[in-house]
Amino acid sequence: MFNFQLLKSFIKHRLIAKTRHGVHSPFVYRLIDEVIYDFNHRSEYNDIEQLRSELLSDRRLISITDLGAGSHVNNNKRKEVRQLAKSALKPPALAKLIHRLTNDLKPHNIIELGTCLGLTTAYLAKAAPDARVISIEGCPETAKVAAENLARLDLDRVSVLTGNFDEVFPRVLAGQQTADLIFVDGNHRKEATLNYFHWALPHMKDEGMMIFDDIYWSKGMEEAWEDIKAHPDVTVTIDLFWIGLVFFRKGQAKEHFKVRF
């Protein structure tokens, strides 16, 4: 089903959003100039994009356990891997952006909610070769394909944990004192998204970052994004329409940016 709400929000965002010009915060200006708008090719992209193109023609049928808000595209219970690769993965430009942001942040530990076939997981892990990377996926058959993919990319150090975010994420957080980077890319519901945010908050380092996917996916997600922006611990946010970046840097004036991407 076509998502008119998303289209309306996209047009509105395009009319308001800035490029780097008109941004006065040095922290945000540098991030836009050197990271967000760095469209140079990087060799780390090659293997992952090669894998994506193979997955796009992979006819293996797997059973889908959908614990999330579902998909606007196809809600069948059995899907070919290629259908997942087409509809559920971040497109290359966004996945590469996530790689650059991670590389710039230099996190020691990364948690991803929503592994799917492991493509963004691979981008995160390759961007931070020394980081501990944990990715959580609710669908066992999808997680199995992701683990195979990550092994193929020599990323065996990534742990793919299978289970509902509601159970696994608090357990992961309890097992580590602090978090540098958390990428929330699954279960796009208002209440769930706010839960993940609030559970993660006590663990976030001042210089850490959270990335929320699909902040305009529905009215509920837009509301969740507004609540996150308003939280007193949040200083800077960058709304790139497709994803939202959240920073907690102390001493930074509270400011929210809408940036074209």
Ligand X SMILES: C[S@@+](CC[C@H](N)C(=O)[O-])C[C@H]1O[C@@H](n2cnc3c(N)ncnc32)[C@H](O)[C@@H]1O
Site of interaction with ligand X (CB under 6 A): 67-68, 88-90, 114, 116, 119-120, 136-139, 142, 164-165, 185-187
Q: How far is the CB of 120 from ligand X (least distance, A)?
A: 4
Q: How far is the CB of 119 from ligand X (least distance, A)?
A: 4
Q: How far is the CB of 167 from ligand X (least distance, A)?
A: 8
Q: Which of 243, 231, 158, 154 is nearest to 197 (CA)?
A: 231
Q: Which of 85, 92, 187 is nearest to 146 (CA)?
A: 85
Residue 163 in 3-state DSSP? coil
Q: Which of 202, 199, 201, 175 is nearest to 187 (CA)?
A: 199
Q: Are 58 and 81 in contact (CB under 8 A)?
A: yes
Nearer to ligand X, 36 or 136 (CB): 136
Rounded CA separation 261/242 (Å): 8
Nearer to ligand X, 136 or 182 (CB): 136
Q: Are 131 and 209 in contact (CB under 8 A)?
A: no
Nearer to ligand X, 88 or 173 (CB): 88
Q: How far is the CB of 26 from ligand X (least distance, A)?
A: 31
Q: Which of 138, 81, 77 is nearest to 112 (CA)?
A: 138
Nearer to ligand X, 142 or 237 (CB): 142
The structure tokens listed for 79 are: 């899907």
Nearer to ligand X, 165 or 248 (CB): 165
Q: At what angle do helices 45-55 and 140-152 cross, to 10 degrees?
A: 140
Q: Are 167 and 195 in contact (CB under 8 A)?
A: no
Nearer to ligand X, 169 or 257 (CB): 169
Nearer to ligand X, 196 or 257 (CB): 196
Q: How far is the CB of 182 from ligand X (least distance, A)?
A: 13
Q: How far is the CB of 208 from ligand X (least distance, A)?
A: 19
The structure tokens listed for 145 are: 């394909």
Q: How far is the CB of 95 from ligand X (least distance, A)?
A: 6
Q: Are 135 and 166 in contact (CB under 8 A)?
A: no
